[in-house]
Amino acid sequence: MSSKHKKINLVIILFILSLAAVNFCSAAGPLKPDVNQNIYNQAQKTGDAGGYDTGTGNTLFSVIQIGISAFLGLIGVILLIYMLYAGYNWMTARGDEEKVTKAKDTLNRAIIGAIIIIAAYAISVFIMSKLEQGTLKGGSNPENLNSAFE
């Protein structure tokens, strides 16, 4: 297949995917305006049935935690890409010791980075849950919390 045909096929595929994306995005649009409200109501019912407090809305702590989780998730994806890149370089080194050593170093750094990211995520979840439990919800026993400040 020539380069020209590959480009044409790529443009056609991207065009079809963009049409599919527009179609999926517009499915909940003007045709059914109450879809968002129905989704919200079903999420509320599910959360209530699961024992979650769904009436509080977004607090500062939950917004911070979502931001931290998104950032660490993005870093995790980047680290996964580095691991795949290092593995690819190792497999295509063809016995060249310099390339193998470079791939091993990249893989080691990516694994150490993943361990650091997992530890950072665990620490942030622990700290935010303790802050939220102690300050926003009054802890598990509000009387004990009040007596600690007297």
Residues 35, 62, single domain; the answer is no
Average pLDDT over residues 30-56: 70
Per-residue confidence at 91, pLDDT binned at 50, 70, 90?
Answer: very high
**Quick one: pLDDT at residue 146?**
47
> How high does pLDDT run on average in the chain?
75
Residues 49 and 62 in one domain: no
Query: Would you say the C-alpha torsion 86, 84, 124, 71 has a positive or negative sign?
Result: positive
91 and 23 part of one domain = no
Rounded to an integer, the average pLDDT of 3-18 is: 77
Q: Are residues 83 and 127 in the same domain?
A: yes
- On whether both 77 and 139 belong to a single domain, the answer is yes
Q: How confident is the model at residue 55, as a pLDDT? A: 63
Domain ranges, residue 139 = 56-150
pLDDT-derived band of residue 138, with 50, 70 and 90 as boundaries?
very low
- Is the same domain home to 63 and 46? no
This prediction's pTM: 0.48
Higher pLDDT, 148 or 41: 41
Note the pLDDT of residue 101. 94
Phi, psi of 17 (to 5 degrees): -65, -40
Specify whether the backbone of 32 is left (phi greater than 0), alpha (psi in -120 to 50) or beta.
Answer: beta
Q: Same domain for 79 and 93?
A: yes
Is the same domain home to 103 and 142? yes
Q: Based on the structure, what is the number of domains in the chain? A: 2
Average pLDDT over residues 42-50: 77
49 vs 104, which has greater pLDDT? 104
Q: Residue 16 has which token pair?
A: 């079809």
Q: Given its phi and psi angles, is residue 139 left (phi above 0), alpha (psi -120 to 50 degrees) or beta?
A: left
